[in-house]
Amino acid sequence: MDFKEVVKNRYSCKKYSGRQVEFDKLDAILNAGRLAPTAKNLQEQHIYVIQSNETLAKIDSLTPCRYGAPTVIVVAYNKENVYTYPGEKYSSGIEDATIVATHMLLAATNENVDSCWVNFFDPDKLAKILELPQNEEVIMLLDLGYAAEGACPLSNHFSRKPLIDTVTYL
């Protein structure tokens, strides 16, 4: 798909059919995350793919925002392998993991797979229920699947501020 089409076509899908994401499409999505830039190329992300009913039920116990997606990707990062920027106000973990997640979000659209970025959950509870290593911080969930019949973008998808509200030329 043309990049402009990918950006234009992506929307947050909030109702999925039961159809599973094909392995080659999932692989393309995961590889798009693998190729994301990270500070100092640390690649501190850790991606978990959840497809079993048992583990999907654990996700459902912590958030209403799976919306029936048959695949959920958990994006985490290794807190012990981040780069702290000069001034020591910020380190790279959250933004690196977020870039990885954004690559996967757009790659999903490119594969004609529907998706939704989800942060409406307690990341510490999620890490605990999934028994993730202590050194990992969870930053988001990415629902993946195919829209159920009749599912469409929410109305706010079509409401974007004009550039003049968010861009300043200095």
Ligand X SMILES: Cc1cc2nc3c(=O)[nH]c(=O)nc-3n(C[C@H](O)[C@H](O)[C@H](O)COP(=O)(O)O)c2cc1C
Among 156, 161, 166, 170, binds ligand X (CB under 6 A): 156
The tokens for 33 are: 């995350």
Residue 39 is a binding residue for ligand X (CB under 6 A): no
120 binds ligand X (CB under 6 A): yes
Q: Which is nearer to ligand X, 14 or 46 (CB)?
A: 14
Residue 126 binding ligand X, by CB under 6 A: no
Question: According to the binding rule CB under 6 A, does residue 75 interact with ligand X?
Answer: no
Distance CA 61, CA 147 (A): 22
Q: Does 116 bind ligand X (CB under 6 A)?
A: yes
Do 99 and 48 contact (CB within 8 A), yes or no?
A: no
* CB-nearer residue toward ligand X: 34 or 157: 157
What letter represents residue 120's amino acid? F
Q: Does 153 bind ligand X (CB under 6 A)?
A: yes
Six token digits for residue 144: 């993946």
Taking CB under 6 A as the binding criterion, the range among 28-36, 46-54, 79-87, 148-156 that sits at the site for ligand X is 148-156
CA-CA distance, 78 to 43, in Å (whole number)?
Answer: 9
Please name which of 42, 112, 116 lies closest in space to residue 73, comparing C-alpha atoms: 116
Please give the residue whose beta carbon sits closest to ligand X in the complex: 120
Residue 133 to residues 32, 93, 120, Cα–Cα distance (Å): 24, 16, 21
Check binding of 117 to ligand X (CB under 6 A). Answer: yes
- Footprint on this chain of ligand X (rule: CB under 6 A): 11-12, 14, 65, 116-120, 153-154, 156-157
